[in-house]
Amino acid sequence: MMELAQEKLNIIYGYQKFREGQERLIYQILNKQSSLAIMPTGSGKSLCYQIPALILDGVTVVVTPLISLMKDQVDSLKHLGIEATYINSTLTSTEEKERLHGLKRQFYKLVYVAPERLAQAKFIDITKRLNISLVAIDEAHCLSQWGHDFRPSYRKIPDWIQQLKEKPTILALTATATNKVKNDLMSHLYLDDDQLVSTGYARSNLTLTVLKNVERVSYVLKYLKANRHSSGILYSTTRKDVEMLYHQLKKEGLSVTYYHGGLSEAERQMNQEKFLFDEASIMIATNAFGMGINKSNVRFIIHYQLPRTIEAYYQEAGRAGRDGEESECILLFSPQDIRTQQYLIEQSNQDPDRQAQEYENLQKMIGYCHTDACLSEYILRYFGESSSKPCGKCYNCKTQGQLIDRTKEAQIILSTIKRLRERYGKTMIAQVVVGSSNQKVKQWNLDDVSTYGLLNSWSLKETTSFIDYLIAEQFLKPTNSSYPVLELTNKALYVLKGQQKIEQRIRENIESVSEDDDIFLILKEKRRQLAKEKQLPPYYIFS
């Protein structure tokens, strides 16, 4: 059967040979072995269910979260002469009827649906009797509540599968899954370890950069002007910033369009197409944009602010260079972004477990901005790939900066945490060492805390930044709770004993924070307002 698969690849798709992972997955599927595929963005996951769909007798149902992209995918399949269709809410009732009828007759080889559809009585009724040989679950991380994009409707997939006449083969596909997400997916889909195909997370054609405290608008302007002829995406956290950037950059004569959850369906569709068909070279968007987008020539992804998790970041950044060509992923970081994300976490989740997890994820993301080590390695480690080596081309690998001995400062902070018996979080510890006159700090009997004020030459901001650095380098570990408390790791004990030096590489002037605290004040005010209204102001609905 693999010869047949090879033939389809050559004749229908016109590709020479399979890419890493594709062949094994197709082999497993053709042998009715359900599988989980973890393969980077752009590695060709779609082929892994499309080719088996052509070879197996029955229908292949493809579950995908994005209605707006079903049409594109189906159109390109039809172009290749494959009978495919989609069933979603954009159809007229006549169209829907026709397609359901076609489905009943097994006219289609591939049918794309959104997960919500699987709970619809009419759909269940038809599919119950059908010969469904394969169910492909695209963007499968949406099924895990530990994933960065959990969609409760994905949980309906296993129930729907249960009701089918015969158990189909399942192929779940994703580009981003931490170990926790992976295990969650495997248990929901009843898969074993030997059913997993993972080609790893490394994307060697991406060059990663983190820039701290740059003047963002002017940086972005300069970059975009210098890269006028390339296509790229500029991600921002809030709708408001997306619109601000859109108007600013447009005024500068750049070829831009924009996308966020506040636009109408028609506007989103139109702007997305402008970008996809190179009518506009730069897309400015919130994280609502991009899942499943297959634009191969994206040369750069700039994050205007800190994203919330490494998974979200890597997925967004991974939209660059799907054609394998060299591409850049730049993250602009400023400490105030942390507060914005904390605020969003506070507002978006009631469940304390979930919130604690989100804080932990955010801390890992902050760690990415503070680490001295290779950025690519940091990400691969996060996904559980421990054997990776420095990439040699990311910003951290490329720039030397200056090594500064920070052992003394680290000792002050670490011993403060120890003396206070590891019961406090970042801000409190920073306040103690800089000698803050904050009432809460003053209330204590500071005779016990001999390190009070020992770092008074540092600002609170510098100190919390340095604590973030100590976390990133694993001298400290925040506990897994809504209000994380800092604990010392074994590595920290060596520093306290004077057996290990801490040298921080300073690449730019971290101390000169260019933006002020306005956002913080706005957030505080919003919070007060929210407590009154108990609802989210539109500005902060961020996607």
Q: How far apart are CA 161 and CA 118, in angstroms?
A: 9
Our CB check for ligand ADP shows the closer of 45 and 426 to be 45
Q: Does residue 18 belong to the site contacting ligand ADP (CB under 6 A)?
A: yes
280 vs 273: CA distance, rounded Å: 9
From ligand ADP, Mg ion, none, interface partner of 18 (C-beta below 5 to 8 A by class)? ligand ADP
The distance of closest approach from Cβ of residue 535 to ligand ADP in the complex, given in angstroms and rounded to an integer, is 37
The reply on whether position 200 binds ligand ADP by CB under 6 A is no
Q: Which of 21, 42, 115, 321 binds ligand ADP (CB under 6 A)?
A: 42
347 touches which of ligand ADP, Mg ion, none (CB within 5 to 8 A by kind)? none
Q: Which of 466, 291, 315, 327 has the alpha carbon at shortest distance from 382?
A: 315
Q: How far is the CB of 138 from Mg ion (least distance, A)?
A: 6
- Considering the complex, state which of residue 98 and residue 326 has its C-beta at the smaller distance from ligand ADP: 326
Pairing verdict, β 476-478 and 486-488: antiparallel
Contact 130, 101 (CB under 8 A): no
Q: Quick one: which of 28, 34, 35, 46 contacts ligand ADP (CB under 6 A)?
A: 46
E-assigned strand segments in 64-205: 84-87, 110-113, 132-137, 169-174, 196-198
Q: Residue 389: which of 371, 376, 372, 400 has the closest Cα?
A: 376
Binding ligand ADP (rule: CB under 6 A), the pick from 35, 43, 195, 396 is 43
Contact between 19 and ligand ADP by CB under 6 A: the answer reads yes
Contact (CB, 8 A) for 524 and 443: no
Restricted to residues 20-79, the positions that interact with Mg ion (CB under 5 A) are 45
Decide if residue 39 touches ligand ADP (CB under 6 A): yes
Q: How far is the CB of 45 from ligand ADP (least distance, A)?
A: 3
Q: In the stretch 303-342, what mask flags binding to ligand ADP with x, by CB under 6 A?
A: -------------------x--------------------
- Of 45 and 364, which has the nearer Cβ to Mg ion? 45
* 36 Cβ contact list (under 8 Å, min separation 6): 140, 171, 172, 173, 174, 182, 185, 186, 189, 191, 195, 196, 197
60 interacts with ligand ADP by CB under 6 A: no
Rounded Cα distance, 502 and 239, in Å: 40
User: How many residues interact with ligand ADP (rule CB under 6 A)?
Assistant: 15
Q: Which residue is nearest to Mg ion (CB)?
A: 45
- Is there a contact between 393 and 203 (Cβ–Cβ < 8 Å)? no
Alpha-carbon distance of 278 to 281, in angstroms, equals 6
Considering the complex, state which of residue 10 and residue 509 has its C-beta at the smaller distance from ligand ADP: 10
The answer to whether the beta carbons of residues 173 and 137 sit under 8 Å apart is yes
- DSSP secondary structure letter of residue 459: -
Q: What are the residues binding Mg ion (CB under 5 A)?
A: 45
Q: What are the residues binding ligand ADP (CB under 6 A)?
A: 15, 18-19, 22, 39, 41-47, 294, 296, 322
